[in-house]
Amino acid sequence: MRRHMLLRSRILLFALAGLCAFAGGMVASRPSRAGRFDPYHKLGVFTKVLSYIENSYVEDIPETELMYGAARGLTEALDPHSRFMDPEEYDRLKKETEGDAEITGIGVDLEKRKRGFVVVSPIEGSPAFRAGIESGDVIDRIDGVEAGPLDWNDAVARIQGPAGSEVVLAISRRGREITFKIRREKFEVKAVEWRMLDDGYGYIKLRLFSAITDAKVLEGLQDIQTRSASAGGIKGVILDLRHNPGGLLDQGVKVADRFVSTGLIVRTVGKGGKEMDRQMAHPRGTWLGFPMVVLVDGATASAAEIVAGALQDHERAVIMGTQTFGKGSVQTVMTIDGCGAKPCGLKLTVSRYYTPSGRSIQSQGITPNVVVEATAPAPDGGDAEIVRERNMERHLRNEQGEKPEERKRLTDHQLQVALDYLKSWAVFSKQSVKKG
């Protein structure tokens, strides 16, 4: 059995080495012909190169290292999300998609692009996040070593390390260089967390789509429902997909299905335009009857984008935040024997996906219904100069108290705006009822 996944090509530089789905089946012992060329004819070139290296290269290179290097070379000719994984990396991958992840490292999500190693996002609460690493930062040097010429594994090995040790990263950010000294730690990243923001208003944070994500979302909804009983039921829910790199495709579909009762959730199309799969919503177990806001940002990717796209197309939720990452492809991870005591893995892009309305978000992302930047705009300095009634001499005193009522605001600007929208919806809905 194969399980599909949606995920950026990246590494989380800790134990979380690449959230994705995997295939339980083995790769066929003899691959099918690739259409326009015979792979076995091409193996002659590979055999000759291998022979020259083994017989003439100045140093002895382990056979396993040569084989892994060759396999990585094949996938490097493909899209950035296809990747060969050695036994250690593949073993970590399988463990991490089982549930909450225990991480050792700095907690940063990277991609290798033309301009170098780029930070897609720091993991919330991680050492990198606390140090101030931001999405879009480009790593120039790792402990003084130029990062550009390094291959993927060498760069990762230099950034990874045991808890308690430090790594120094020189970062390029919007034309200036910043140096960070970050201490590696061991910490846990929970797939889903939730809490109440106000009476009847619940908040669910999805950090990744592992095997337990949908079950945890349901647990969170049930808890929010219980806590909202005194307020007359759930008044609104905020689903936070910011900094969510994706993960298991089936979990993304299940989460979307929690809030959509009928219709298409996602459609995948493979090689030659052949439709691979069509996932539909089911009315049973659907949570309706309250408004929703889904928070997204530039690090919202893959399975997280499928959820946002489905809820947006079905008009089940208002999508708020900034443009998403734009990964519109699906990967399958296959188990490969012959790597010793533990198997290797191959993550291969096998299809593109489309939202219910037929949109491909590949390299474009999802445009929010309401664009809200991560930080609040600077206050208008001129507002402080406005003379109000309370500033006038001999003004009548307010018998109920002179001090204006202060609204308690969240430090998270986007989350506060989302909560404001939900509360405004309650006001508008009452007006609609009165008009009717």
Q: Could you give the residue numbers annotated as active site?
A: 302, 313, 327
CA distance 119 to 180: 14
Residues 295/241, Cβ–Cβ less than 8 Å: yes
**Which two structure tokens, joined as six digits, stand for 113?**
């692009």
- Measured in whole angstroms, the distance separating CA 80 from the mean position of its chain's CA atoms is 16
CA distance 69 to 54: 14
CA angle 327–333–336, rounded 5-degree value: 150
Strand, helix or coil at 100?
A: coil
What's the sign of the alpha-carbon dihedral 291, 295, 296, 300?
A: negative
Q: What residue type is 300 in one-letter code? A: T
CA distance 84 to 75: 7
Q: How far is CA 64 from CA 59, 60, 86, 92, 340, in A?
A: 15, 12, 10, 19, 9
CA distance 217 to 194: 8
As to burial, measured by CB atoms within 10 angstroms (0-12 exposed, 13-18 middle, 19+ buried), residue 371 is exposed
What's the sign of the alpha-carbon dihedral 308, 259, 5, 130?
A: positive
**Which two structure tokens, joined as six digits, stand for 369?**
């219904």
**Which two structure tokens, joined as six digits, stand for 389?**
């009634």
Residues 327/81, Cβ–Cβ less than 8 Å: yes
Residue 32: DSSP 8-state: P
Q: How far is CA 202 from CA 76, 380, 427, in A?
A: 43, 31, 18
Strand, helix or coil at 6?
A: strand
DSSP string, 185-236: EEEEE-SEEEEEEETTEEEEEE--B-TTHHHHHHHHHHHHHHHTGGGTS--E
